[in-house]
Amino acid sequence: MLKYIAFILLLLCGGGVRGQALHVDSNCFLPTDKCCAEISSAIPTTDKGIFFIGAMVRKPGGGVPFLPIDTVMGNVMVGKLDSNRQLSWVKVFGGRDDDLAFKACQTPDGGYAVLALTLSNDGDVTGNKGGGDIWLLRTDANGNLLWQKTYGSSYSDDPISIANTADHGFIILGTTNGSDGDVPFHYGGFFSSDWLVIKTDSTGNVLWTKNIGGTESEGNRGQILAVDSFYYLIGSTASRDYDCIPSSWQSGADMYDDYYVIKLNDTGAVLWDSSYGGSRNDEAESAMIDRRDNTIMITGTTYSNDHMVTDYNGGNGDIWVVKVKMDGTLVWQKALGITSDETGSSLCITPPGEYIICGNTRYVIGGGDGWLSVLDTTGNEIYRKIFGGIENEAVFSIVQSKNGYAAAGGSASDLFTEGLNCNANNSGSFISYFERWPLSIPFIAENGISMIAYPNPVNKELIIKLPNAVTGSITVLNSIGQTILVSAVERESCIKIPVENWSTGLYFLSFQSESKQINTIKILKN
């Protein structure tokens, strides 16, 4: 069984990324030692730090606090990084059974609201209504638990998303297949799920709940967005009835999931719904409001190659980005991928207005790798980076940080093949820092040309991996621009360069293909 370790990748760059590349600067492992952990989400904090959440399976050793109750299952993990990228604290909450954090938001007083799934009814958890419940934890700014509430039915209830509301309460999105407790009714049968929307006050008391959906299953991924006194539910479903009125482009025989945007008023009544996708599954994962032009940005995964999906790249799934107006009108869409398996997970906006999309791909560096794409305001891809280690990575969040951006997720690798590795081989959480170079580096085209160089820093021998075995040339420059090495590459996928005689310092390794596409990596010689 692969051990997964949580990580946060910080991309150190203020402003946009056009004409600039994002490169790994360092990877620093957090002191979780023998704990298996995975970060499921991260958010920026008002003090320019990062708050991250996820799950951790407790094992002996490590720097994560013990729960006062014996547990061998997963527990909720929350943690804080300050603006200088230092770990401020890590806390663990839960009971004897499985507990997993999904999403979080910062509250006006500087604390945090954490939305989780719990199967427990002991330890930190009280009031479980049966099966899995939606669990809301409220902490102060230092991660101390202030209160907790459970929501749901006697059946399965799963969390998806949470947002602050204008009245200082919370709006919660989840799914349910129950019809008792906090769940007013159920559209479909026992094996199908409805969306469940819960409105609470500032202390977690329920003000109202609504089932949204149809007779098919509504997906357990998506986002709830609060805008003034309205709410936008973003998710995926194969339902074509009740609250999910089929659009004109959807075939009556199509029983696959599509992206859906559903607008609700301040009491949860459906005002309108709109769908997006093709004739195969389209699975929305994350969304945000672009307040510059009042649009909704959505990312997820598509398996379609028709209807609204016009630029599918092949393989088993593409990252699919959709931009829509606040009335649901499609502005543009973009499929991102190579001929592998790509999935979209999160997105954020740069100060100049570009969009950074994060997700995952397979078999480029290791078994599973992180994916970053930068899109301009009209959806054109202007930069792409694939990153990770030789094992499996899964990236779930991209957020803006003090000096750039931070991606968060889980990894089974003990180190990454790019960047400094601090406290490597520590089977716990880690942080990887990215920096942006002010270099004129053309976008690496959609044929998937990429380059990995490791170890970095290097002492004796540098290994260069070119996954597509392309033809071209390698050039190495030192920090003052002098050429150290020029070498032809003839359909090679692995190149070894002795560096023992290089002086200590910074070097720039560039690969230029026959078609003049360039990729550059910064190398540190110890």
DSSP class of 328: S
Residue 180: is it exposed, middle or buried by C-beta count within 10 angstroms (0-12/13-18/19+)?
A: middle
Asked if residues 218 and 297 have their Cβ atoms less than 8 Å apart, the reply is: no
First to last CA, the chain: 35
Weakest mean pLDDT among 245-259, 439-453, 471-485: 439-453
- To the nearest whole percent, how much of the chain has pLDDT over 90? 53
Q: Per-residue pLDDT for 248 more than 70?
A: yes
Which stretch, 134-138, 408-412, 485-489, has highest mean pLDDT? 134-138
- Give pLDDT tens digits for 345-383: 999 998 778 899 999 998 676 678 889 898 999 999 988
Confirm if 81 and 431 have CB atoms less than 8 A apart: yes
Spatial separation of the C-alpha atoms in residues 350 and 354, rounded to whole Å: 5
Class of domain 5-439: mainly beta
Quick: pLDDT tens for 429-444. Answer: 555 555 554 433 333 3
Domain boundaries, the chain: 5-439, 461-525
DSSP-derived 3-state class of residue 390 = coil
Topology classification of domain 461-525: Immunoglobulin-like (2.60.40)
Weakest-pLDDT range from 117-131, 158-172, 435-449: 435-449
Please list the residues that pair with 80 across neighbouring strands. Answer: 51, 89
